[in-house]
């Protein structure tokens, strides 16, 4: 039996994550992927970038410290392969490349700054296809701090995919044009028009949190009614009450409202009545892509 240890670093607009995964390959059986460790550091890069166009000196230092810590953790876990991907915030930052260079020089960690389409493709490489039934249609919506990736699947195939600059940190800072909402609405309505029954698949920390609060069993969907009711509850509470009464982290208690609004809007525009929450994101996709790369090299 072969055991591999891989790591994924997801540098988002709201937080930076290190996922360590153990991949077990029993003989003549499919490999299993187990999340060994997940470390999340709430460096809100998007709050700098979407307002000022660059990452602040304070957050540059925090990022360097975090990457140093991640480097040590990967060494402690004896990681064989890793990949670090940065999304919307570092992509839009005027000093994003400079930060990537500093991190590389300081820690040896190479950060790949990816576009929205690449991000959607990495996520699609996850176990998402195992959740998608061949005779059904799904709208996959991944809401981040800086962007939202939307992919339409039907009969087991990818029909259309697009990345929009509609993210929770952008919305919090009131820098999303009304036209962006219209663009997303028009795209979803156009792409889903000919399909009669659509279910949403939601990914991202906020929908995971909402799902956890529902008490539903893994694999069971949330209804439009539940999500709508929870959204109303969130709006009825102050920021402090969302932390104390709903037990939300301070960096989650504000972004969860715009996130819920995006998911509800996507459900309304696609006429979806339920949303599945598989707890899959960019970091999982990175691990899967690393595994596929390793297998391809071995089979050469």
pLDDT tens-digit profile of 157-167?
889 999 999 99
Which of 68-72, 104-108, 115-119, 220-224 comes out lowest in average pLDDT?
115-119
Give the sheet arrangement for strand 222-223, strand by strand: 157-164, 148-154, 137-143, 198-203, 274-276, 222-223
127, pLDDT greater than 80 = no
254 Cβ partners below 8 Å, 6+ apart?
172, 239
**With bands split at pLDDT 50, 70 and 90, how would you rate the model's confidence at 129?**
low
Cα–Cα dist 201/280, whole Å: 10
Residue percentage of the chain with pLDDT more than 70? 97
Distance of CA 56 to the CA centre of its chain: 23
Q: Helix, strand or coil for residue 253? A: coil
CA-based end-to-end distance of the chain = 21
What would you report as the CA-atom Rg of the chain, rounded to the nearest whole angstrom?
19
What are the distances in angstroms from CA 199 to CA 58, 138, 206, 214, 270? 42, 5, 18, 18, 8
Cα–Cα dist 8/122, whole Å: 12
Cα–Cα dist 178/253, whole Å: 24
Domains annotated for the chain, with CATH where assigned, are 2-116+283-298 (3.30.420.40), 128-280 (3.30.420.150)
* pLDDT the model gives residue 117: 82
Residues pairing with 41 in the sheet:
16
Contact 11, 82 (CB under 8 A): no
**Could you read off the pLDDT of 33-79 as tens digits, one per residue?**
999 999 999 999 999 999 999 999 999 999 999 999 999 999 999 99
DSSP state of 135: T
DSSP string for residues in 171-207: HHTT---HHHHHHHHHHHHHHHTT-S-EEEEEESHHH
* pLDDT the model gives residue 27: 86
* pLDDT the model gives residue 241: 97
The sign of the torsion formed by the CA atoms of 86, 87, 88, 91 equals positive
CB atoms within 10 A of CB 204: 28
Q: Which helix (H) or strand (E) holds 227?
A: helix 224-236
Q: Is 223 exposed, middle or buried (0-12, 13-18, 19+ CB in 10 A)?
A: middle
130, pLDDT greater than 70 = no
Q: In which residue are the tokens 């044009």 written?
A: 177
């Amino acid at each position: 039996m072969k055991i591999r240890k891989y790591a994924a670093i997801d540098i988002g607009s709201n937080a930076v994550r290190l996922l360590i995964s153990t991949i077990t390959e029993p003989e003549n059986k499919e490999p299993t992927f187990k999340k060994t460790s997940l470390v999340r550091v709430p460096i809100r890069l998007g709050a700098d970038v979407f307002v000022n166009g660059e990452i602040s000196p304070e957050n540059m230092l925090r990022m360097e410290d975090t990457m140093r810590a991640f480097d040590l953790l990967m060494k402690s876990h004896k990681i064989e392969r890793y990949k670090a991907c940065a999304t919307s915030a570092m992509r839009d930052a005027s000093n994003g490349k400079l930060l990537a260079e500093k991190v590389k020089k300081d820690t040896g960690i190479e950060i790949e700054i990816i576009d929205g389409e690449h991000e959607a493709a990495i996520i699609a490489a996850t176990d998402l296809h195992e959740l998608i039934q061949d005779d059904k249609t799904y709208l996959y919506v991944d809401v981040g701090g800086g962007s939202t990736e939307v992919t339409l699947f039907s009969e087991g195939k990818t029909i259309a995919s697009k990345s929009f600059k509609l993210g929770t940190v952008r919305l919090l800072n009131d820098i999303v044009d009304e036209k962006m909402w219209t663009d997303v609405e028009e795209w979803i309505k156009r792409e889903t028009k000919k399909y009669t029954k659509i279910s949403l698949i939601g990914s991202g920390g906020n929908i995971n949190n909402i799902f956890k609060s529902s008490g539903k069993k893994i694999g069971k969907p949330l209804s439009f009614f539940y999500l709508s009711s929870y959204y109303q509850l969130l709006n009825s509470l102050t920021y402090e009450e969302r932390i104390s009464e709903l037990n939300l982290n301070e960096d989650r208690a504000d972004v969860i409202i715009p996130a819920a609004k995006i998911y509800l809007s996507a459900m309304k525009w696609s006429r979806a009545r339920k949303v599945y929450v598989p707890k899959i994101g960019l970091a999982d996709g990175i691990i899967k892509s690393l595994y596929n790369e390793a297998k391809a090299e071995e089979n050469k």
